[in-house]
Copies of this chain bind each other. A is one copy, B any other.
Amino acid sequence: MKISTLQENLKTGVYIVSHIAGKNVNLPILSNVLIKASKDGINLITTDLEMGIISKIRGKVETEGKYTVNAKVLSDYVSLLPNQKINLEKKDNILTVCSENYKTSIKGQEAEDYPLIPKIDKNIYFKLNIEEFKKALSQVIFSVSISDTRIELTGVLFSFSKNGLTLASTDSFRLSEKKVKVTTNIETEDEIKVVIPSKTLQEVIRILSTIREGEINRDENEIVFYISENQVLFTVKDTELISKLIDGQYPDYTQIIPLENKTVAIINKKEFVRAIKASSIFSKSGVNDVNLDFPLGKNKIIISSTSSLTGENITELDAKVDGDDNGVVVNYKYLLDGLNNIEGDSVRMEIVNNNTPCILKSEKDDNYLYLIMPIKQ
């Protein structure tokens, strides 16, 4: 194998694939990146056996071949080099990496020992705008469960249909739901539901973040999903990520979303965040409770907390409040998470009573909903 490329191309490609190359005691070669040079060009490949990433980079193939070297060593080294032409060549059991003043030999392992990346049928596709998808994903991924007791809750539910995509996640304490537009080649009204591991989605977010806006022209501003029974393939620009799906029945979360409410408040988001943080200092450790009160006809909300250790706090905020006299106690961390993902200057809060989930919505974006289970007193 003998190839040449620009430092910038190699650096970006190695950066994209090397993150999932980790230490695996049983299979040390998984800490390597597979460099594959063929008539089709230069591909950099990694896998952690749950997912695989393939990044095609621009460059010249002088002699075809393939080889693997430690991903971190290659990534650390290449990122330091000046942006010049780099020659890479396999010689016996080393890869030589040479540019103008820098000469390096990296020890490696034969490509034959590297696991194969599975293929996927490309029968069904869904296309999404990259920026919209990135934002939607960030609005739901934070509320996946971190506990393995219900494995399906550790992923995000993707419900695809020809009418759109609904993303949802819940850790059973709070729930996020977001709807986005898609284009697709399926024609029936049927929904396709898959649960994608949050680790895979975090990798997708990371890859999308490395693609600078300037690099995307109008034809390339889409991420494409291919769905099969057990796997999902994301393709964006010159990068492909293929991942296993989570095998498990996702609960019908729509059942817990209240259909009606008794009290609706429109609150300045910045002031609300500040008041919640102030109250959080005096909430009970481990419980993280803050009280929200909506006194009848006063157009204000009262945020309060009391701790036997530190003291107590009461904050009054002006707000537009309609409906019944009401109150609810919630975990301030979940409340702040939700507010952090609500767009615009104000937030709409809907309360039924102190035993029923309350809902946060944006006044600007009707496609996003955040729900918090109350702390029962």
Which residues does chain B contribute within 8 Å of A313, judged by CB atoms?
A: 77, 102-105
| Complex contacts, A76 vs chain B, CB 8 Å | 281
Interface size class of A (residues with CB under 8 A): 20 to 34
A139 to B281, CA, bound (A): 38
Interface residues of A in 152-191 (CB under 8 A from B): none
Enumerate A91-118 residues with CB–CB distance to B below 8 Å. 94, 101-107
Interface residues of A (CB under 8 A from B): 70, 73, 76-77, 80-82, 94, 101-107, 274-275, 277-278, 281-282, 309-317
User: Considering only CB atoms, which chain B residue lies closest to A107 in the complex?
Assistant: B311
Residues of chain B within 8 A (CB-CB) of A70 are 310
- Beta-carbon nearest neighbor of A103 in chain B: B314
**Hey, which chain B residues are within 8 Å of A281, CB to CB?**
73, 76-77
A310/B101 contact (C-beta < 8 A), A73-B281, A77-B281, A277-B80 known: no
Q: How far is the CA of A317 from the CA of B310 in the complex (A)?
A: 60
12 contacts between A and B (CB under 8 A): A70-B310, A77-B278, A77-B313, A80-B274, A101-B275, A102-B278, A103-B314, A103-B315, A104-B278, A105-B313, A106-B311, A107-B309
Check B315–A107 contact: CB distance below 8 A: no
**B residues within 8 A CB of A101?**
275, 315-317
Q: Please, how many angstroms separate the alpha-carbon atoms of A97 and B310 in the complex?
A: 13
Q: Are B73 and A105 in contact (CB under 8 A)?
A: no
Q: Which of A104, A275, A312 has the most CB of B within 10 A?
A: A104
Given A73-B281, A277-B80, CB of A107 within 8 Å of CB of B310? yes
Complex CA gap A314/B278 in Å reads 56
Is B311 touching A81 in the complex (CB atoms < 8 A)?
A: no
A247–B98 Cα gap in the complex (Å)?
Answer: 54
Which B residues are CB-close (under 8 A) to A312? Answer: 104-105
* Complex contact B315–A102 (CB within 8 A): yes
Distance in angstroms between the alpha carbons of A77 and B312 in the assembled complex: 11
- Which residues of chain B have C-beta atoms less than 8 A from A278's C-beta? 77, 80-81, 102, 104
- Give the shortest distance, in Å, between A150 (CB) and chain B (any CB): 35
Within 8 Å CB of A316, what residues of B?
Answer: 101
A104 to B107, alpha carbons, bound, how many Å? 63
**Most B-side CB within 10 Å, residue of A277, A309, A313:** A313
